[in-house]
Amino acid sequence: MIAILQTKFRLLLKKPLMFIGMTGMGLLFAFFLGMGQYSKMMVPVFSNIENLEKTEIWEQLQESESIAFYIVSEKEAKRAVSEGKVEAAVSLSEDSYEIFVVSGTPNVQFIQHYIHSIYSDILLKENIRKEWKNDEDGAEALINQLEQVRENPLFQIQTGTFQMENSFVYDNRLQSLFGMSLFFVIYTIAFNVVHILQEKTEKVWDRMILSPLRKWEMYTGNLLYSFLIGYVQVVLIFTVFKYLTGVNFYGGFGKTLLLLIPYVFAIIALSMFIVSVVKNIQQYNAIIPFISVSMAMLGGAYWPLEIVSSPILLTLSKFVPITYGMESLKGATVYGASLNELIEPVSILILMGVLFISLGIGLIERRSE
Amino acid sequence: MLLDVVNLSKRFKHVQAVKEVNMHIQQGEIIGLLGPNGAGKSTTISMISTLLKPTGGDVYFNGKSIIKDPKSIRRKLGVVPQEIALYLDLTAEENLQFFGKINGIKGKKLKSRIEEVLEWIGLAERRKDVVKKFSGGMKRRLNIGVALLHEPEIIIMDEPTVGIDPQSRNYILETVRRLNQQKGMTVLYTSHYMEEVEYLCDRIYIMDQGEVIASGTNEELKDILSSEQTITIQVERLHKSFIDALIADSALKKVDNRDKTVTVIAPKKYPFFKKITGYAEQTETSLVSVEVKAPTLEDVFLHLTGRALRD
C-alpha cells in the first residue's frame, strides 16, 4: 500500500496541473464571489421631497457603510428592481417610506431596518424640537448632547442576537468560500478516484492482483491518496482565506478542518460508486461535471439553501453530500455550533460514504468476475 | 507436467468464449497459442493467470488446482498483458521500482533485479526516460521486463508484439528465446502471427471460436496437410467467374482469394497446371504465376477452418 501511495505522489509531482488548477479555481471563485461584502449594496431612491440631497434624511442615508443609495426617477428605480439589477428600491416621503422588492431577501430586511432607524431618529429630534418650541437653543443643546452620547457612549455596549432555531444568518464570504471549496474538490477527488478505472483498463490493476498485494490494500492505497489530495486542497483554500485575507471563521476554523473529513470521505465514496456503474472513462469524464454542478446547485454551494423555497428542490437536496457539508461547516462557524450539535450532518455523510463505497467496490468486483 | 489445463471453459452471459480447452505444458517448453482475433486466446490465458474465473474445468500447476488456491501460482507467474500495463508518466526505472516493490522485492535485491531486467530488455541506457516518450517497441520490452522482475517460473505472453516495427519484434522474439534457453523459463506465447509461433514454439495449440482445433509440434501440424498441396495463383485481374470455376471443382478443398492472389488446397496428385490454366482460359483470366508452396501453419488453419488466420 505504501508503494501505491509513493507512486501516486510521484505521479502528482510529475503532473501537478490538475491539483493546482482546481485549488486555484476554488481560491479565485471563493474570492470573487465573496467580495460582495466589501462592496456596497446599490439601492435606487426616488422621492417627492424637494431638494432631497439637502435634507437630513439624505445625509443620514449617505452615512451607511454597506448601502449606497442613489437618486433616480421612479420609473428607473422600479425597472431596476423588476429586472433584478438591484434587490430593492426606496420611495421616500417626508414622514414615511416604501420599499419595492421582487422577493424578500435578508438584505431587504437590512435595508428596511436601516431606513426605519433613520426615520425614528428624525422623528425623535422633531419631537424634542416640538416639546422645546419655546427654547430653541435648549432643544438643539439636547439634540447635540444626544448625538455626542451616541458617538461616545459611557459604556461600550455590544449587541448580539439570540438565534431562533430556524433563523438564517448569512455570511457571504463564508458561503462562497465553503461552497466553492466543496464544489471544486469534487473534481480533484473524482479525477483521482477514476485512476482505479484507468488502471483496470490498462491492466496495471491486473499486475497488482497478481502481486502479493491484497485487494483491500489496492483499494485503500488508491482511495487514501484521493482522500489526502482532496483534503489538502480544501485545507489549503481555508488556510489562505483565514490567514491571508482574514476571513472570519467565528472561532470555528479548527472545527471546519475536522468536519471536512466526513465530506471528503463521502465524495470519494460517491466517485467510487460512479466508477463502478460507468462503462468507460469517457463516460465517467462526461458524467462528473454534470453530477458535481447539479449537486452544487441542489446542495447550496452556489447560493444558500435557506433562500430556496421549492419543496422539490429541498427534498432533492437531502440526497446530496454538499448539503450536509455546507450545513456542518456553516454550523461550526456562523451558527457557532459545537461538534456534538453537528452529529446529524456528520453521521449522514459517513453513512452516505459507507453505503456508496460498499456498493462501488461490490459492483466493481462483481463486474471483474 | 508443469501446467495442466483440463476442460477449461468460460461463458459470458450468452457467449461461450472458451469451450473445454485442454492443454499441457512441460517445464522449459515454449508453447504457442495460435488463433485469429476473437478465438478465445486472451480469455484462456486470463483464466490460466487466475485473473478470470472459469465457468468449467480447472488448471493445475504442479498438480495443484489454481482455482482453489490462486495465490500459490501467482508468485510463480509472469504475465505480459496485450496492453501496455505501465505508468506512462514514470520513467522505466520508476516503473520497475513500483512493480518490484508490490512484488515484495526490496533494497539491494530490488536494485540488482532492476539492473538485470534492464539489461535483458535492452533499456539500461534509457532507464531515466519517461515511458510515454518511448517507441512502441520499447514500451513492449518494458512491459515484458516488469513481468520478469520477480523471477517467475512460467511467463505468459498475450500478443506481446502487437503494433510494433519488425526490428522491435525480432528483438522481443530473440529475448523470449534467450529467456527460455539461458534461464530455462517456460513460456506460453499467444499470437495471431503464425510466423512468430512457428519460429519460437516447441508445440502449438491452434484455437478458433473458443476451441482448440489442433495441437502438436510445427511438423505434426503441417503433416495434417501431407496428402495435400497449397497452390498460390497470381492473376492480373480477378474475375468472379474464375473463382466460381475453382469453387465448383470438387477436387479442390479450400479456395481463398485476396486481391489478385488465390490460394487453393488441392490433393497431391491434382493436375493443377492443366486444370488452372484451363479455368483461366475459360474465364478469360490472365495468369501471372502459379506456385506450389510448402505448407505453413496458415495453410493448416485454412484447411481446418476454411478461413485465413488474418480474417
pLDDT at A162: 44
Out of B173, B189, B217, pick the residue that ends a domain: B217
Length of chain B: 311
Chain B: residue nearest A199 by CA? Answer: B85
pLDDT digits (tens, 9 = 90+) for A276-306: 999 889 999 999 999 999 999 999 888 888 7
pLDDT tens digits, B147-175: 999 999 999 999 888 888 888 889 899 99
Confidence label for A38 from pLDDT (cuts 50, 70 and 90): very low
pLDDT for the residue A155 = 65
Per-residue pLDDT, A164: 43
Residues B109 and B249 in one domain: no
CB pairs under 8 A between A and B: 64
CA–CA dist B250, A352 (Å, integer): 71
Find the range with the poorest average confidence among A20-34, A307-321, B85-99: A20-34
Tell me if B310 is assigned to some domain.
no
Q: Tell whether the model's pLDDT for residue A348 goes beyond 90.
A: yes
Rounded CA separation B42/B18 (Å): 10
**Which of A3, A14, A369 is opposite residue B53, by nearest beta carbon?**
A369
A367 touches chain B (CB under 8 A): no
Q: Over the stretch B255-295, which tens digit does the pLDDT of each residue have? A: 888 888 998 888 877 888 888 889 988 898 889 998 887 77
Confidence band (pLDDT; 50, 70, 90) for B81? very high
Band of the pLDDT at A153, cuts 50, 70, 90? Answer: low
Q: Domain of B238: which CATH number? A: 3.30.70.100
C-alpha cell at A109: 430586511
pLDDT of residue B143: 93
pLDDT score of A316:
93
Q: B93: closest CA among B124, B49, B61?
A: B124
Please check whether residues B122 and B68 belong to one and the same domain: yes
Quick check: A168 pLDDT over 70? Answer: no
CATH number belonging to the domain at A41-150, selected among 1.10.3720.10, 3.30.300.30, 2.40.420.20, 3.40.190.10: 3.40.190.10
Alpha-carbon gap: B146 to the closest alpha carbon of chain A (Å): 9
Return the minimum-mean-pLDDT range out of A63-77, A323-337, B11-25, B49-63.
A63-77
B113 found inside a domain = yes
Residues B207 and B184 in one domain: yes
Which amino acid belongs to residue B207? M
Set of chain B residues whose Cβ sits within 8 Å of the Cβ of A202: 83-86
The proportion of chain A whose per-residue pLDDT surpasses 70, expressed as a percent, equals: 91
pLDDT score, position A360 = 94
Q: Which of B74, B90, B103 is nearest residue A11 as measured by Cβ atoms? A: B90
| pLDDT attached to residue A169 | 60
Q: Which of A60-74, A214-228, B106-120 has the lowest mean pLDDT?
A: A60-74
For residue A34, pLDDT over 70 is answered with: no
Give the integer Cα–Cα distance in Å for A228 and A264. 9
**Exposed e or buried b for every residue in A149-180, given b needs 16+ CB within 10 A?**
eeeeeeeeeeeeeeeeeeeebbbbbbbbbbbb
Residue that is written with C-alpha cell 456534538 in the block: A340
Distance from C-alpha of B289 to C-alpha of B299, rounded to nearest angstrom: 19
> What pLDDT does residue A86 have?
77
Mark whether B170 and B277 lie in a shared domain.
no
B311, part of any domain: no
φ, ψ dihedrals at B291, nearest 5°:
-130, 135
Please give the grid coordinates belonging to residue B268: 497431391
> Cβ separation of A212 and B102 shorter than 8 Å?
yes
- Of A258-262, B25-29, B193-197, B219-223, which range is least confident? B219-223
Residues B228 and B212 occupy one common structural domain: no
Q: Could you tell me if B212 and B255 are in contact, meaning their C-beta atoms sit under 8 angstroms apart?
A: no
Residue A7: its pLDDT value, please? 92
Asked if pLDDT for residue A127 goes beyond 80, the answer is yes
Q: CA–CA separation, A118 vs A61, rounded Å?
A: 8
- Shortest alpha-carbon distance between residue A292 and chain B (Å): 28
If you write DSSP's letter for every residue of chain B in order, what string do you get? --EEEEEEEEEETTEEEEEEEEEEE-TT-EEEEE--TTSSHHHHHHHHTTSS--SEEEEEETTEETTT-HHHHHTTEEEE-SS--S-TTSBHHHHHHHHHHHTT--HHHHHHHHHHHHHHTT-GGGTTSBGGGS-HHHHHHHHHHHHHTT--SEEEEESTTTT--HHHHHHHHHHHHHHHHHH--EEEEEES-HHHHHHH-SEEEEEETTEEEEEE-HHHHHGGGTTEEEEEEEESS--HHHHHHHHH-TT--EEEEETTEEEEEEETT--HHHHHHHHHHHTTPPEEEEEEE---HHHHHHHHHSS-TT-
Residue B306 has pLDDT above 80, yes or no: no
* Per-residue confidence band for A149, with pLDDT thresholds at 50, 70 and 90: confident
Is B213 found in the same domain as B235?
no
For residue B279, what is its C-alpha cell?
A: 479455368
Which domain, by its residues, includes B245?
223-305
The pLDDT value given to residue B101: 94
N- to C-terminal Cα separation, chain B: 34
Q: Residue B126 to residues A15, A203, B92, B123, B130: CA-CA distances in angstroms?
A: 21, 23, 7, 5, 9
Choose among A3, A14, A202: nearest Cβ to B101.
A3
N- to C-terminal Cα separation, chain A: 23
* pLDDT in the model for residue A166: 46
Q: How many other C-beta atoms lie within 10 A of the C-beta of residue B277?
A: 13
Q: Which of A207, A217, A368 to mutate to test the interface with B (most CBs of B within 10 A)?
A: A207
Residue A161 — pLDDT band, cuts 50, 70, 90? Answer: very low
What the block records as the C-alpha cell of B92 is: 522505466
Mark whether B64 and B169 lie in a shared domain: yes
**pLDDT confidence of residue A27:** 83
Structure confidence at residue A65 as a pLDDT band (50, 70, 90)? low
Q: Is B100 in the same domain as B10?
A: yes
**Is residue A157 very low, low, confident or very high in pLDDT (cuts 50, 70, 90)?**
low
What are the cell numbers at A99? 420599499
**Per-residue pLDDT at A160:** 43
Averaged pLDDT score across all residues of chain A: 85
Query: Residue B115: what pLDDT?
Result: 93
pLDDT: is B223 or A181 the higher one? A181
Across the interface, do B84 and A202 touch by the CB < 8 Å criterion?
A: yes
Average pLDDT over residues A257-261: 95
Tell me whether A210 touches chain B (CB under 8 Å). yes
Residue A30 confidence (pLDDT) above 90: no
Indicate the residue type of A152: N
| Mean pLDDT along residues A174-194 | 91
Three-state SS string across A250-281, please? CCCHHHHHHHHHHHHHHHHHHHHHHHHHCCCH
CATH number of domain containing B123: 3.40.50.300
Position A144 scores a pLDDT of 84
Residue B91 and residue B213 in one domain: yes
Check residue B69 and give its pLDDT.
85
End-of-domain residue from the set B217, B238, B259: B217
The 10s digit of each residue's pLDDT in A195-233 is 999 999 889 999 999 999 899 999 999 999 999 999 999
**Rounded CA separation A168/A95 (Å):** 31
A148-157, B190-199, B251-260: range with lowest mean pLDDT: A148-157
- B162 and B240 part of one domain: no
Q: What's the gap between Cα B71 and its chain centre? A: 26
- Residue B70 C-alpha, separation from nearest chain A C-alpha, in angstroms: 9
**Among the listed ranges A169-178, A191-200, A347-356, B27-36, which one has the minimum average pLDDT value?**
A169-178
Q: Decide if pLDDT at B106 tops 70.
A: yes
| Cβ(B300)–Cβ(B222) below 8 Å | yes
Decide if B277 is inside a domain.
yes
The CA distance from A21 to the nearest CA of chain B, in Å, is: 19
pLDDT higher for A6 or A334?
Answer: A6
- On average, the pLDDT of chain B sits at 88
Nearest beta carbon to residue B77 from set A14, A204, A210 = A210
* Ranges in chain A annotated CATH 3.40.190.10: 41-150
Q: How far A221 CA sits from the closest chain B CA (Å)?
A: 12
> CB–CB of B94 and A10 under 8 A?
yes
Q: Which of A9, A198, A210 to probe by mutation at the B interface, max B CB count within 10 Å? A: A210
